[in-house]
């Protein structure tokens, strides 16, 4: 008998699957027996990850799409439909910050680049909404469908500098709750919609902000570690347990929630 916690045989699409956190969760889910579908923008990166997972004896295939382009996603949906018929879980892990949407200590609100703001909201918010909208018919064909959005600890209490990113992640949490209710009220077999809010994980996106070229912490990196009761950055593997739970049937009564994995960052007042 397959345990409720298993993700075995689930068909799981992961956007941003070739990113640092995305790749870690994709490899993990494949190793747990899921059929993972790596969604990315760059053919060579998608192919490399798919080959590595298949070479390890697990099941992966790839699909190309920019998550902010509806026509790309429509084509991806058609391919997913002909290859798999349905999907069980969609993980929206494509996302990130952009330089111009940041206010550095020597800048003011006037320095914010509107184009960069639009891009960061487009990538993080629209880039989660659109795959949900386009892949909805495939999820509706699953026996036990689920969506997992990726938020951030900056969604509730915005971090300094990253204004656009914090706003976009906040909007993702609101969308998560909205859709959880919308689907529960209108679908016979409701798609569960949850979000994961990682704390600080050292990745390419934030490495320059948190560490110096010699690997020592920047002042911001030090502030974060001091404010994290567990006293360290997270490792991508620290997200695996929450991902397994939220993608599996063990979370059948869980929808509209945000699971935080942050070493206690959000719980600490600083005193
Ligand atoms: N790293 C952290 O500490 C941290 C903390 C909280 C939340 N997050 C969130 O976790 C998610 C993954 O972050 P990461 O650190 O692995 O970042 P990353 O930059 O390593 O990966 C992001 C991935 O998204 C892809 N991507 C970007 N734009 C895209 C587009 N338009 N279409 C399709 N794919 C696109 C990139 O190619 C990359 O593969 C993001 O949503 C990020 O905001 C990260």
pLDDT (tens digit, 9 = 90+) per residue, 208-265? 889 999 999 999 999 999 999 999 999 999 999 999 999 999 999 999 999 999 999 9
Q: Domain boundaries in the chain?
A: 11-199+234-261
**Average pLDDT of the residues of the chain:** 96
Instruction: Return the percentage of the chain with pLDDT > 70, whole number.
Output: 100
Any ligand 1 atom below 6 A from CB of 258: no
Residues 123, 67 contacting (CB under 8 angstroms): yes
Cβ–ligand 1 contact at 121 (below 6 Å) = no
Q: Determine which helix (DSSP H) or strand (DSSP E) holds 131, and give its type and residue range.
A: helix 127-140
165 is catalytic: yes
What is the reported pLDDT for 136?
A: 98
| Nearest ligand 1 atom to alpha carbon 67 | 32
Average of per-residue pLDDT across 4-31: 97
**Cα–Cα distance between 175 and 178 in angstroms, integer?**
5
pLDDT digits (tens, 9 = 90+) for 65-81: 999 999 999 999 999 99
pLDDT tens-place string over residues 119-163: 999 999 999 999 999 999 999 999 999 999 999 999 999 999 999
Contact 237, 27 (CB under 8 A): no
Report residue 207's pLDDT band, with 50, 70 and 90 as the boundaries: confident
- Identify the active-site residue in 28, 135, 165, 201: 165
Distance in angstroms (rounded) separating the CA atoms of residues 149 and 99? 23
Nearest C-alpha neighbor of 251 from the set 132, 151, 147, 177: 147
- Between the CA of 3 and the centroid of ligand 1 the distance, in Å, is 31
CATH of 11-199+234-261, one of 3.40.50.10490, 3.40.50.720, 3.30.830.10, 3.30.390.30: 3.40.50.720
pLDDT (tens digit per residue) in 79-101: 999 999 999 999 999 999 988 89
**pLDDT at site 99:** 85
What's this model's pTM, rounded to 2 decimal places? 0.97
Please work out whether the CB of residue 236 comes within 6 Å of at least one atom of ligand 1.
Answer: no
What is the spatial distance between Cα 73 and Cα 71, in angstroms, rounded to a whole number? 5
Among residues 74, 201, 196, the alpha carbon closest in space to that of 147 is found at: 196
- Residue of the CA atom closest to atom 18 of ligand 1: 19
């Amino acid at each position: 008998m397959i345990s409720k916690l298993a993700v075995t045989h689930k068909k799981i699409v992961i956007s941003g699957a070739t990113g640092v956190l995305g790749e870690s969760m994709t490899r993990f889910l494949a190793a747990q027996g899921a059929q993972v579908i790596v969604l990315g923008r760059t053919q060579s990166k998608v192919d490399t990850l798919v080959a590595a997972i298949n070479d390890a004896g697990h099941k992966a295939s790839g699909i190309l799409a920019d998550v902010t382009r509806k026509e790309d996603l429509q084509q991806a949906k058609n391919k997913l439909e002909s290859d798999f018929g349905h999907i069980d879980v969609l993980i929206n892990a494509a996302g990130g910050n952009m330089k111009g949407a940041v206010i550095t200590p020597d800048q003011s609100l006037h320095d914010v680049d509107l184009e960069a703001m639009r891009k960061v909201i487009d990538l993080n918010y629209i880039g989660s909404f659109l795959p949900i909208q386009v892949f909805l018919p495939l999820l509706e064909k699953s026996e036990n469908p689920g969506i997992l959005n990726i938020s951030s600890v900056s969604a509730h209490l915005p971090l300094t500098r990253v204004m656009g990113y914090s706003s976009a992640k906040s909007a993702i949490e609101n969308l998560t709750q909205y859709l959880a209710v919308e689907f529960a009220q209108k679908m016979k077999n409701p798609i569960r919609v949850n979000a994961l809010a990682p704390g600080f994980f050292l990745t390419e996106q934030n490495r320059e902000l948190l560490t110096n070229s010699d690997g020592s912490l920047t002042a911001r990196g030090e502030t974060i570690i001091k404010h994290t009761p567990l006293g360290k950055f997270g490792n991508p593997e620290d997200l695996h347990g929450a991902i397994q739970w939220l993608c599996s049937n063990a979370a059948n009564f869980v929808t509209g929630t945000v699971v935080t994995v942050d070493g206690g960052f959000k719980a600490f007042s600083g005193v």
